[in-house]
Structure 1
Amino acid sequence: MPTLHDRLTSKSLTLIASLPSNHEDVIQAAIDAEVDVIKVHMNVEHRASGNWFGTLAENERAFTFLRKHFNGPIGIVPGDAPEKVTKKELDQLQEIGFDFLSIYAHTAPAWLAADNQLEKMIALSNHYRQADLEAFKQSSADILEASIMNSETYGQRLTMNDLYHYQELVAGVSQPVVVPTQKNILIEDIQALQATGISGLMAGAIVTGKTPETIYESLKTFKEAIETERM
């Protein structure tokens, strides 16, 4: 099966679903929408969705369901603080069948830089500096997640200034860049987003809502729009 990195470097734009909960009906909605990649969370308080995601033990059944029913790459945010990410749980996640980790650089424990069990999608925040991009390019990170919006702007419309920042990231690193929907990205924004050179769009609660019905409809619409751009 192709890895996340494989997909990001072989398609014009990869659609990643970042789920607002780990309920099986939410997972199924993303699968039915035919997204390319699915990401879930554990040990995390998630601002965009307003949810607390529980422990691995609490989520293991849902994660097993995800792996059983979805053939694409699956990833996980393993925690929102360095002490919440452990090698033991990474081993368990790999056994379940996860393909990649998604985590902020400032919440990832240092030892993770030398751990290559799973691909690493590392997020930079709005505090990144130009020097960080050169360091990122030389790091063990496989993918850059552009989580660079100030939390005060979450849910606002995407602007040309935002596109310039994404272009700066694409130009500054050698890894593929994924943009999460920290802002309210619309279908009509996709062409302009693609023009920045990003490799993936990660659709989360701000654009999908939280119910299986809205998640399916939103993801399906994004999927169809991206497929149209590929033609």
Structure 2
Amino acid sequence: MYPETPLYRALTDGTFPVIVSLARHDLDLAKAALDAGAYALKTHLNAYHRATGTTFGSFAEERPFFGQLAKLGCPLLVMAGQETVPTAEEMDALHNLGFEGFNVYADHLQPHLLQSKLRPMPALSDASTPKDAKKLASLPGCILEASISPFTRYRSAMTDADLSRYQEIVRAVDVPVIVPSQLMLTPEDGRRLQQIGVAAPLLGAIVTGDTPATMSASIRPFVQA
């Protein structure tokens, strides 16, 4: 149903590609991530980003930036929204720009999104169980985002208990699981996540900061590790 892209192969063959979630729509930030070795970029639509306090606009508002991003030639993913999500026509336009996957929390997964050409990447929440993960993993072609840390834990260190929760999810499903940096993930945490079968880290502002300099300084050690 969905093409087997280089990114999807990297997620399924143990490559452990570093994916970066942009703290804001800034081309210099995107270039810094790629220059430091990031494999793919994730951006946002129709959303308030809790970790940074940034609000991302509608497709019409963000399209000029997406056009610039598409010229960078890297795999692109989009957090498609919350209560508001793109229309079917906007999903087609995102696909035409080169986006290959979309991400929303399971509660916001509207039927027309699953009929688009973008691969679904539903996100678990802090209340999700391995049973919930298994249910979402039944969606054809999906990638799972284990967004399971409560907001009160944001920016804290990853513990053995956190690692065990991620491992439970990985073991419950047969689809790639990516772990976003709600916690202050380190390159060593990245190695531990890879060892338990996580497909990729998704590094956002908590790890990368929000300047090209902090982006470069944080991403390079992850890629090297």
TM-score, reference length from structure 1? 0.90
Q: Report the counterpart of residue 134 of structure 1 in structure 2.
A: 134
- What are the equivalent positions in structure 2 for 1:75-86 lying under 5 Å apart? 75-81=77-83, 83-86=84-87
Instruction: Confirm whether residue 222 of structure 1 aligns to residue 222 of structure 2.
Output: yes
Change beyond 3 A, Cα 1:50–1:141: farther
Q: Report the counterpart of residue 53 of structure 2 in structure 1.
A: 50
Change beyond 3 A, Cα 1:181–1:85: same
Deviation for aligned residue 1:116: 4.2
3-state SS, counterpart of residue 66 of structure 1? helix
- What are the equivalent positions in structure 2 for 1:8-157 lying under 5 Å apart? 8-70=11-73, 72-81=74-83, 83-113=84-114, 115-140=115-140, 142-157=142-157
**Contact residue 85 and residue 108 of structure 1 kept, 8 A:** no
Read off the aligned partner of 1:79 and give its amino acid letter: G
Identity of aligned residues (%): 36
C-alpha distance after superposition, 1:10-33 (max 9, x if no partner): 233111000001111111111211
Higher helix share: 1
**Contact residue 122 and residue 141 of structure 1 kept, 8 A:** no
Measured on the aligned residues, the alpha-carbon RMSD in Å equals 1.6
Read off the aligned partner of 1:221 and give its amino acid letter: P
Deviation for aligned residue 1:141: 5.0
Inter-partner Cα distance in structure 2 for 1:85 and 1:57:
10
C-alpha distance after superposition, 1:151-175 (max 9, x if no partner): 1100000000001001100110110
3-state SS, counterpart of residue 202 of structure 1? strand
Change beyond 3 A, Cα 1:48–1:111: same
3-state SS, counterpart of residue 121 of structure 2? strand
Read off the aligned partner of 2:81 and give its amino acid letter: G
Inter-partner Cα distance in structure 2 for 1:76 and 1:137:
19
Change beyond 3 A, Cα 1:6–1:116: farther
TM-score, reference length from structure 2? 0.93
3-state SS, counterpart of residue 193 of structure 1? helix
Read off the aligned partner of 2:82 and give its amino acid letter: D
Inter-partner Cα distance in structure 2 for 1:67 and 1:3:
16
Q: Report the counterpart of residue 185 of structure 2 in structure 1.
A: 185
Q: How many residues were matched structurally?
A: 222
Structure 1 alignment gaps of length 5 or more: 226-231
**Contact residue 179 and residue 200 of structure 2 kept, 8 A:** yes
**Contact residue 85 and residue 109 of structure 1 kept, 8 A:** no
Deviation for aligned residue 1:195: 1.7
Inter-partner Cα distance in structure 1 for 2:44 and 2:6:
19
Read off the aligned partner of 1:171 and give its amino acid letter: R
